[in-house]
Chains A and B, each alone.
Chain A
């Protein structure tokens, strides 16, 4: 794949809450390449959204702190940017699509105005041109009668249509990177497919890199070339779509894939959930975050954090099982709908 456009390195983010400091993101690193789609997969509370929002400094300043790490875009560390500088990045270079289109549009503002807002700010164009461009954008994302719909308010749109508007807004200034934070979670299934296809089509046209955050492996298969699996604030495994689905190395990834329903599965066989629930990140110990739920847990897992082991150029997993000293274990028979080779 091509050159790296966005590089997150060793990111640590913590929240100040009433019950103490919570380290929501710990040592997260990944690269986003030009034109590719990278999916960050993980369950609720694994720190996916926090990672995404910290890229654009959209986390509440009073309660969040980025403790260390760097987010390099265009040769500069975004974390060192001040308000004025990050405003030039937001929307123009990196844009974001949010989870719930019902709440991510301003209810008292005409959608045309909301689309035009970013255009006027970044492209230094007049209202008239911005309006023309907005109508084009809305047409592009599949909103019929775009010219008339410019004057509609969000409540006059369905959920799917609103998400199209949000996407039009995000793509208004031709951003190089699009961060989609669970873009289809709040939509029903048929609309989900439409929105994903729309994003793929637009990506083909514009060559935008997409960072998609999701807990839905179905979305991942549809969209991503590369996957980063996140658990309890850490990335536990990264690899290409094939590597993660066919040769997963981390027990958490196995669990995720096992718990996914498959098309041709015998319906009498129940899905296998991952036992237990994610750890309380405020009570994190030194070892592997998955140790408490891992069926293959060893002594070392509880006290020492495993390093990322490079399995191939594109594939890495943070698990002691990949260590040379680890015992050979038998991976679960069926994961991801394919028998393990």
Chain B
């Protein structure tokens, strides 16, 4: 297990390095320069500015410098916001995004789980059809539609929650709900189909034949086995929530990381684009890593680190 973790860490670093490299060079293809109005700058000013940010050096040197700084944990300075480090910019913006995303995942997983379990246990009844209906709606309607509908009804018509902006906790509720719709739908559908499959398996009958109560059968034998595949979708799902925040943050005017990301792409703020890309990638890779570890814990048939377990 320990060896496996170290090995995975190694792969994670390599993956990140590849992502940084590709992003770094791709960014050079973006039209324009990091300076907002280069035509207004004199030759001398441009030179000075370029020298300050190291843009006068050959690309290869720029790349090596960036990687060198990165290893020391330095993501560089913003080209646009005077004197701000990329790390501090991410730090300022991460709070709202994490709150919205985290709440959306928690709401989504909880509601999806409950819907899915009810659906499977009450298979082919009105409860089942009801939750399948909810799941299909959540799956097929994009989150910005929910967002707009909620803003109109909850925010404007009923005045229950603030329509947009970011002042206190209540401002985070609607964005989280809008984001969670897709999570609810995905988790519910998955739990339902996995549970139905497990319920049909013989070991569930064996468990019942032992005389333990149906509740214990469901909790101990069915859920545990049904959860294994669900954990695997949670990784990609969390990531789609992360990218989903781009749109939602825009709609609700939340000062989050997604909004910052779109902004820096528009103004060619190279170091910020690189920094946020790197941050998103690292998060993604880390989540996938956690999911893999969880998978190994939940399913004993998967052994970590290639160490073969003795077979009879």
Contacts and interface: CB of A to CB of B under 8 A. Distances in A.
A91 B211 contact: yes
A267 interface: no
Q: Specify which of B123, B206, B225, B298 lies most central, judged by the most chain A CB atoms within 10 Å of its CB.
A: B206
A88 B203 contact: no
Nearest to A96: B209
A106 interface: yes
A284 interface: no
B225 A117 contact: no
Interface residues of B, number: 28
Contact of A58 (B124, B201, B208, B312): B208
Nearest to A161: B312
B212 A118 contact: yes
Contacts of B123: 62
A147 B221 CA distance: 23
A109 B220 contact: yes
Query: Number of contact residues on A: which range applies?
Result: 35 or more
B210 A117 contact: yes
Contact of B207 (A83, A88, A106, A156): A106
Contact of B224 (A105, A108, A117, A152): A108
B225 A107 contact: yes
A331 interface: no
Interface in B178-237: 201-203, 205-214, 220-221, 224-225, 228
A235 B232 CA distance: 49
A121 B216 CA distance: 11
Contact of A87 (B211, B221, B298, B309): B211
A315 interface: no
Contact of B211 (A106, A122, A157): A122
Given A106-B225, A155-B300, A58 B310 contact: no
A158 interface: yes
Contacts of A155: 300-301
Contact of A158 (B211, B224, B312): B312
A107 B138 CA distance: 33
A25 B310 CA distance: 45
A107 B229 CA distance: 14
Contacts of B309: 156
Nearest to A120: B212
A110 B206 CA distance: 15
Given A106-B221, A108-B300, A109-B221, A89 B202 contact: no
Interface of B: 123-124, 201-203, 205-214, 220-221, 224-225, 228, 298-301, 309-312
11 contacts: A62-B124, A87-B212, A90-B208, A106-B207, A106-B221, A108-B225, A108-B228, A109-B220, A121-B210, A122-B211, A155-B300
Given A95-B210, A156-B310, 8 more contacts: A62-B123, A98-B202, A108-B225, A117-B220, A118-B210, A121-B212, A155-B301, A169-B210
A-B pairs, 5 with minimum CB distance: A91-B211, A90-B211, A118-B210, A91-B210, A103-B202
